[in-house]
Structure 1
Amino acid sequence: MTKTALVVGASIAGISSAYWLHRAGYTVTVIERSPALRDGGYKVDIRGAALDVVDRMGLLEDVRKARTDVRSGTVVDATGRRVASMDGDTFGGRTHGDAELLRGDLTRLLYDHTKNDVEYRFGEALTELPGGYDLIVGADGLHSATRALAFGPEKDYVHDLGYRIAIATVPNHLGLDREEVTYVGPGRTTLVYSTAGEATAKAMFLYEGDEKDLRAAYENQGWEVPRLLDGVDTATDLYSDDMCQVKMDSWHRGPVVLVGDAAWCASPASGQGTSLALVGAYVLGTEDSPEAYERRMRPFVERNQALGPANIKRMVLHTQGQVRNSMRMLAVMDRMPFKEWMLGKVMQPLHRAATAIEL
């Protein structure tokens, strides 16, 4: 008898899980509460073991074609003075063939790769755990309804790191051409970039505290921050949330198993959310039980989760003194002929974590 699986969430984790479960012999249905596939979104990186997963899906060439092609990165101070510049891959911590593309472009590639083999039902939310499925996969993100129904309230598993993130599409008033610019202030970091083929830009705001009003959080900040906030005011795709991690003793209960952010959100600061989703989906679909899936994934997840709290403290500097010292160090490093090598050393923990699993 054919086994059946219900996947909750047409996310990267969800669609990838659907692909591998179909390969494993399941008849798969994916439900997604949004009325259509979620396009757009911020840029994401595929690193380490996740590149092998994409290759095994037959999508590596398509992923490389969809790369953002961001060519350079610059750090500026409150007056807009350039402090340091580097090539795009060094700035983004990419090496060994890592690929950066827009989240929506990756989601679309995965969907097109599975739509003929998997049933998709958009505009359908999970309100109770249904019977009749051999497996129910919760791939519905940080605020997972599947997790709440099967394991209990969110507060028991979601841990706030003490920071917030906001992302939106804004006008490219700086005229960026496949460039990324970062401004750092005390407790406040702002990034804006443009990608190949996009007339607009994406802005990201990372900041300490729990202030939900972005303008209030960024009051009196320098550089182009006020103008970027004007762009956020008219954005139709603003995403804003606390920076959190999910910690659970088990990712499966009965027929329910969690994957991706629903199970182990490492936070955007880890830089590994997409790669964890891709690898987790592969392991779920290729291991012979939820227990085996969990045994193989947990050390990898824990290694990558550890990146989040460490990275966010480097991304958002607490005091004006820390900002000043960081700017001085970057300015000195910018004049050194081996700055790319130095930054590569800084990024080694990320790449060790990205490859810390055997598929």
Structure 2
Amino acid sequence: MTENNIRTVLISGGSVAGPALAFWLHHHGFAPTIVERAPELRDGGYAVDFRGEALDVLDRMGLLQQIEALDTQMGDAALVDADGRQYATLPAAMFAGDLEVLKGDLTRMLYEATRENVEYVFGDSIATLEQDEDGVLVTFERGAPRRFDLVVGADGLHSRTRALVFGPEEEFVRHLGIYTAIFNLDNYLGLQNTGRLYTAPGKAANIFTARANTEARAAFHFAAEGLEYDRRDPAAHKRIIAERFADEGWEVPRLLKEMDTAQEFFFDANAQVEMDTWSAGRVVLLGDAGYCAGPSSGRGTSQALIGAYLLAGELATCHGDHATAFAAYEQHMRPYVTEHQALGREGAQHFFLPAPSQEILDALVANATTTRTTPVRLHDYTTA
């Protein structure tokens, strides 16, 4: 617990890293506030994986059994050609971690686990940050200015916090050469705990079941470098996808129509964030905002949960001495992140396999199951 006082911490971002950090900060006696740009919880997104020590963190949060109950239980998927004929089977081990759930389900669970003890401010975002010896003066796009002892940027790849404190995005974000669109739709193919994947040169489209086969999630992926577009214009994003996939076969024409009316739609570049340090004064970055490994790593959610646990734990151990805590947090996380970012770059290089044979897929699975990253040491902060 903190000594003699409760320190106020503003967390920008209410997806995974932010609420996980708020959970542990409250546990250690801090007073966290989460500000989230979206007007309400985000329900969209694809499935996310948990691997290794991230499962230990969930267990220490008392959430592991609840998360396990939401496991997608995804089996192997079929690779199909333009006529829908299956030519290979994609083993689940290649796209699912030790545990896999929909990101929206995870976000909801973390919110329910924290909402009674954490202040949530939806529909707002940080406008400016001004640090001094005693804290940080924060102005907001809509709300009144407030002071906090610390500020944490857990606001993702395009972090506003990072831009305000460390510099423009182009100084830190490294494009992996892939763009992805994800959206929800009905399970019109009647799939049962499985999916279908179609590939073409530099392109891929897939559909997987969700929520006990009552729904589905589809995605389009294509190779490109440095496209210019408005990140907040979904209509423009859909036009980009429609143009790229206009002449493709299989279920692509139907998926493009479904995309137009999807209630939840996400589009972005696959990228990594590389920084020499994750903190400056009283501001620190967490998760994708500071060290995104890219979707092709399969480690983003695990990094967010582990980073949140370590950051809160070090702040408690150091009794709120943020400079010491931030340095220890980075020391513990940096080797883990470095390995995961290497995995992300390797995954991006092999993302668009040219109609791989079953033998190639089986060999890739065998290699993946024997390649384990160095574990991060999880100190026991639960009684700090």
Rounded Cα–Cα distance in structure 2 between residues aligned with 1:120 and 1:217: 39
Rounded Cα–Cα distance in structure 2 between residues aligned with 1:344 and 1:189: 19
Rate the CA distance shift 1:160–1:333 in 2: closer, same or farther, 3 A: closer
What is the root-mean-square deviation in Å for CA atoms of aligned residues? 1.8
Distance apart, 1:40 and its partner CA: 3.1
In the alignment, which residue of structure 2 is the partner of 1:177? Answer: 192
In the alignment, which residue of structure 2 is the partner of 1:125? Answer: 125
Distance apart, 1:313 and its partner CA: 2.4
Rounded Cα–Cα distance in structure 2 between residues aligned with 1:106 and 1:229: 27
Structure 1 unaligned segments of length 5 or more: list them.
Answer: 318-322
Given that 1:189 and 1:315 are in contact with CA atoms closer than 8 Å, whether structure 2 keeps it comes out as no
Scaled by the length of structure 2, what TM-score is found?
A: 0.84
In the alignment, which residue of structure 2 is the partner of 1:294? Answer: 330
In the alignment, which residue of structure 2 is the partner of 1:356? Answer: 375
Given that 2:44 and 2:265 are in contact with CA atoms closer than 8 Å, whether structure 1 keeps it comes out as no
Q: Return the match for 2:352 from 303, 308, 316.
A: 316
For these two proteins, the number of residue pairs brought into alignment is: 338
**Is the counterpart of residue 264 in structure 1 residue 283 in structure 2?**
no
Q: 2:19 is matched by which residue type in structure 1?
A: I
Given that 1:73 and 1:91 are in contact with CA atoms closer than 8 Å, whether structure 2 keeps it comes out as no
Rounded Cα–Cα distance in structure 1 between residues aligned with 2:44 and 2:178: 24
Given that 1:178 and 1:196 are in contact with CA atoms closer than 8 Å, whether structure 2 keeps it comes out as no
**Is the counterpart of residue 84 in structure 1 residue 99 in structure 2?**
no
Rounded Cα–Cα distance in structure 2 between residues aligned with 1:284 and 1:14: 11
Given that 1:164 and 1:209 are in contact with CA atoms closer than 8 Å, whether structure 2 keeps it comes out as yes
Rounded Cα–Cα distance in structure 2 between residues aligned with 1:3 and 1:21: 9
Scaled by the length of structure 1, what TM-score is found?
A: 0.89
Rounded Cα–Cα distance in structure 1 between residues aligned with 2:34 and 2:211: 31
Q: How does 1:1-359 map to 2 (within 5 A)?
A: 1-85=5-89, 89-94=92-97, 98-129=98-129, 130-131=136-137, 132-210=147-225, 213-287=240-314, 288=318, 289-317=325-353, 323-324=354-355, 326=356, 329-330=357-358, 332=359, 339=362, 342-348=363-369, 352-353=372-373, 356-359=375-378
Rounded Cα–Cα distance in structure 1 between residues aligned with 2:187 and 2:257: 12
Distance apart, 1:312 and its partner CA: 1.8
In the alignment, which residue of structure 2 is the partner of 1:320? Answer: none
Percent of aligned pairs with the same amino acid:
43
Q: 2:340 is matched by which residue type in structure 1?
A: N
Structure 2 unaligned segments of length 5 or more: list them.
Answer: 130-135, 138-146, 228-236, 319-324, 379-384
Q: 1:303 is matched by which residue type in structure 2?
A: E
Q: 1:257 is matched by which residue type in structure 2?
A: V
Rounded Cα–Cα distance in structure 2 between residues aligned with 1:315 and 1:162: 10
Rounded Cα–Cα distance in structure 1 between residues aligned with 2:208 and 2:196: 6
| Secondary structure of 1:304's aligned partner | helix
Rounded Cα–Cα distance in structure 1 between residues aligned with 2:245 and 2:44: 25
| Secondary structure of 1:61's aligned partner | helix
| Secondary structure of 2:128's aligned partner | coil
Distance apart, 1:191 and its partner CA: 1.5
